[in-house]
Amino acid sequence: MILSKEEQALLNGEQGEAPRMAMEILSKIGEINEAERLIPIHSVHLVLHAYKSAFDAGVEAAEKIAYMGGKFSVPTTIDPYGMDAEDWRGAKTPEAYAVMQKRLEDAVMRMGVIPVWTCTPYYGFNMPKYGENVAWSESSAVAFANTVLGARTNRQTAIVDICCGILGKTPETGMHIQSNRCGEVRIRLEVDRDLKSWEYPALGYWLGKKLGSRIGVVEGMRGSPSPDHLKSLCAAAAASGSVTLLHIVGVTPEARTAEEAFGGRAPLDACVVNEADLLRTRQSMCTTSGGRAEFVALGCPHYSVHEIRRVHELLNGRKVHPQTAFWIYANRDAIRLIEKMGIRQSLEASGVVLRAETCMIISPVAPWGFKSMITDSGKCAYYGPAECGTDIIFADAAECVEAAVSGLAPM
């Protein structure tokens, strides 16, 4: 890579140990990926956020960088907290786990992180503009930033994202280069109506399996999907595959037409997805069905105010079954808003628990002994069995609510 005089000085340690280490790591990452230079970025979103995934080594690495004097030079937000930020004891979080989570929090706070603790930073905290270069790590947020916002980011990894935040730079490679953002696979969506809410994560799950890391161009989507729908689609695609960018013709900013999405190139592959495919995908996302509804979990990625309000409308004052746990995960700001609206109080009176700044995937769930989980999240359906140790029933949000009220899981 070609380094500027300033960058070479950083590599020589002239600005301190933390910038030197960050420069060494990013220059090596750049060389491996054949980048010619580092480019400035507007923001970072960190994935070194939860003790469940960081373990002792991640906590110690974050502390080492903080004590080196590492400071973020661009706005840097962070993924969900590793336990319920309001009531970790009530969530049965082991004491030793909580100690390590707080050590991790202290380390990133010393570096100057913006403590939003959410996987949806684009909901008001960190929303890049079209064409801006950023360095994000959270898989669903990366897919959303590239696909829905038209920002430019690769799928960064822990520690590398911290280095990007310290320097305010990232190697110019991958999704930062226009020619790498062109569509590769044509997908024809043959559903002659607006998609149902559950079909967005199911479509994302199908796309992830089909595409892997390739860039798909989806044609035939009707209506105007909401940001929440696109969030669910991107999250599932990034989980079941390693999708960082999708083009949805007529919906996403780099796909006003199919020709624009492909950048004048011919597709490398083509396929069709229809209603039957989505139904089969939904079935494949479940590892069990029926029986007692033990645990209903919504909010992966974090639920928005609109989604929480929808659950409130669906409940309509009814009570959650006494033998069912019904949890909604959201960032603290969304929770504050619904509290001001009186919705939180009503939900809690019905038996719903709001879990703040965390989620079922990255916080301890095993202590509860749940055998199965019902969710409307394609991302959770993919990671849940391994991360939570439960069987999964994927369902529409309305079906999740009915299961929570009746105490019976969908068949």
Q: What pLDDT was estimated at residue 411?
A: 86
- Return d(Cα 112, Cα 359) in angstroms, integer: 23
pLDDT, tens digit, for every residue of 141-195? 999 999 999 999 999 999 999 999 999 999 999 999 999 999 999 999 999 999 9
Architecture of the 295-406 domain: 2-Layer Sandwich (3.30)
Strand 44-46's sheet: what is its strand order?
A: 76-78, 44-46, 135-136
Quick one: how far is CA 178 from the chain centroid?
A: 24
Q: Which residues of 232-270 are buried (b: 16+ CB within 10 A; e: fewer)?
A: bbbbbbbbbbbbbbbbbbebbebbeebebbbeeeebeee
Query: Are 107 and 61 a contacting pair, CB within 8 Å?
Result: no
pLDDT digits (tens, 9 = 90+) for 13-61: 999 999 999 999 999 999 999 999 999 999 999 999 999 999 999 999 9
Question: With pLDDT > 70 as the criterion, what percentage of the chain qualifies?
Answer: 100
Mean pLDDT (the chain) is 97
Residue 342 has what pLDDT?
Answer: 98
Phi-psi region of 95 (alpha: psi -120 to 50; beta: other; left: phi over 0): alpha
Neighbours of 224 (CB within 10 A): 9
The answer, yes or no, to whether residue 124 has pLDDT greater than 90, is no
Closest Cα to residue 377, out of 365, 363, 389, 359?
Answer: 359
Give the residue range(s) of CATH 3.30.499.10 domains in the chain.
295-406
Q: Which of 140, 143, 173 is nearest to 26 (CA)?
A: 173
Task: Express each pLDDT in 316-325 by its tens digit.
Answer: 999 999 999 9
Percentage with pLDDT > 90 across the chain: 99
Distance from C-alpha of 362 to C-alpha of 53, rounded to nearest angstrom: 7
Q: Are 80 and 118 in contact (CB under 8 A)?
A: yes
Spatial distance between the Cα atoms of 48 and 62, rounded to a whole number of angstroms: 8
